Amino acid sequence: MKKEILNTIRTLGGDVSRVNGNSLLDDIQSISFNTVLYPRSEDTPWGAAGEEEPIYGIEEYIEANQTLLNTDRAIFYQKLIAHYYELTEEGRGQMFWSGQLFTPYLEGSADYQEWNVDFSDGTSVDLSVIEEVVGVKQPTMVQVFYSYGFPDHYYICLEDPSPDNPTVFGTDHEEFFMEISNEGSLEEFMQQFISPEELISVLDKVLNNS
C-alpha cells in the first residue's frame, strides 16, 4: 500500500503499525481505527463548504459548552475532540473503518450462503462498474468503510490492477450492488476526511471571527 495512504491513515487516527506489505488483504485487515471518520465539508448547490458545519451538530455542542470555550479554549478543544472522535453509533455524519472480507462467490462462506443467489442470477446485481476497472466478473471484495450516508457501503477488490492504491466502489443497502459508484482511488478517498487538527483549525477561524 502506498506510503501516502498510510501517512493519511495515521493522521486520521488509524493504527498502521502492523502493516507489512505482504498483500493488499493483509494490509487492509491489519489497519485499525479506534475512532470514526468525518468527510470534509464541500461546496454544494445549497451552500459553500465554509458555511456548513464541519461535523453535524457541532454548533449545538459549542453553544452547550460556551463557558468552557470562553475560559479555556485548549481544554474545550480536547473535550470536543474526545467527544466527536470516538467509536459511537450516534449519527453524526461519521464513517467507520471496516476491513471486512465480502465473499458472495466463495463457496462455503457465510456470504456465499446469504448472497450467492443474488450475485449469480444475472439480474439482482450489476458489477459492470467494478468489472470495467478490475477486469474480472466475480471479484473478491473487502468492505473498507461503512456509513449512515449515501452510499453506505464502500469496497475495494483484491484483483485490482493497482493493489498499492486500489479503486474504491460505493453501493447502498437500498440498491445493494445494483447501483455502484466509482469513488476514485483509495488515496483520493482517504483525503476527503477531516483530521482532528484540521477540525480545530477550521473552528479557530470561525470562532476568531465571531
| Residue in this structure with the C-alpha cell 459553500, named with its chain if needed | 48
Predicted confidence (pLDDT) per residue in 124-143, tens digit: 999 999 999 999 999 999 99
Looking at residue 166, the DSSP 8-state letter turns out to be P
Single-letter amino acid, residue 48: A
Looking at every residue in the chain, the average pLDDT score rounds to 92
Q: How far apart are CA 9 and CA 91, in angstroms?
A: 22
pLDDT at 48: 46
The answer on pLDDT for 163 being more than 50 is yes
How far are the Cα atoms of 24, 117, 126, 132, 161 from residue 157, in angstroms, in the given order? 9, 20, 15, 12, 9
Predicted confidence band of residue 184 (pLDDT cuts 50, 70, 90): very high
**The three cell numbers locating residue 5:** 495512504
The answer to whether 176 touches 153, Cβ cutoff 8 Å, is yes
Which residues have C-beta within 8 Å of that of residue 152, sequence separation ≥ 6? 146, 172, 173
Q: What is the pTM of this model?
A: 0.91
How far are the Cα atoms of 94, 183, 185, 190 from residue 150, in angstroms, in the given order? 12, 12, 18, 17
